[in-house]
Amino acid sequence: MEKIPILKMGKFLLVTIQVDLYDRLALTLEEDLIQMVFKTGSKGVLIDISALSIVDSFMGKIIGNIAGMSSIMDAETVVVGMQPAVAITLIELGLPLSGVHTALNVEKGMALLESRMPPSLDDANDDDVD
């Protein structure tokens, strides 16, 4: 069965979607990612969709699901590399992807994830914004 690879990079998981997503493949990715977050204890998930020429309501829902589930498991999700035409289309479609962090590219997405990691030592009583 076809699968989208999930790479572990330090504290984070990196997914680069390079193929046409059909629904079953997207659902498999959702399952695999959540399993990986659980197994590796990753604190962040970065999904690169720069090769996707379309994100429809189904894929939008999957992206939202991944972000929601990861968040419950204490991991942040950042979607990077969305093509401008895809962004325009998503808004018109009525799917603003609220609740999902986005960044322009992988580098900025990584920086965003890093910035959201709590300082590794004690002192956990300040930023509880959610």
Partner 1 sequence: MLMMTMLIKESLIIQQERDLVYCRNRVKEVAAKIGMGIVNQTKLITATSEIARNMLIYGGGGTMRLEVVTKGKQEGIQLVFEDKGPGIADIQKAMQDGYTTGRSLGMGLPGAKRLVNEFVIQSAIGQGTTVKMLKWKNG
Check residue 30 for interaction with partner 1 (CB under 8 A): no
Of the candidates 43, 48, 55, the one whose C-alpha atom is nearest the C-alpha of residue 10 is 43
Q: Name the β-bridge partners of 12.
A: 9, 44
Residues 75-94 that bind partner 1 (CB under 8 A): 83-86, 88-89, 92-94
Q: Report, in angstroms and rounded to the nearest whole number, the Rg of the chain calculated over CA atoms.
A: 15
Here the tokens at position 58 are: 């189904």
Minimum distance from residue 25 beta carbon to partner 1 (Å): 9
Of the candidates 117, 121, 103, 127, the one whose C-alpha atom is nearest the C-alpha of residue 11 is 117
**CB count in 10 Å sphere of residue 112:** 18
**In contact, 67 and 44? CB cutoff 8 Å:** no
Check residue 31 for interaction with partner 1 (CB under 8 A): no
Choice from 20, 31, 74, 107 touching partner 1 (CB under 8 A) = 20
Identity of residue 116: R
Choice from 56, 71, 73, 106 touching partner 1 (CB under 8 A) = 56
Choice from 61, 71, 73, 106 touching partner 1 (CB under 8 A) = 61
Check residue 58 for interaction with partner 1 (CB under 8 A): yes
Minimum distance from residue 100 beta carbon to partner 1 (Å): 14
Binding site for partner 1 (CB under 8 A): 20, 22-24, 53-58, 60-61, 83-86, 88-89, 92-95
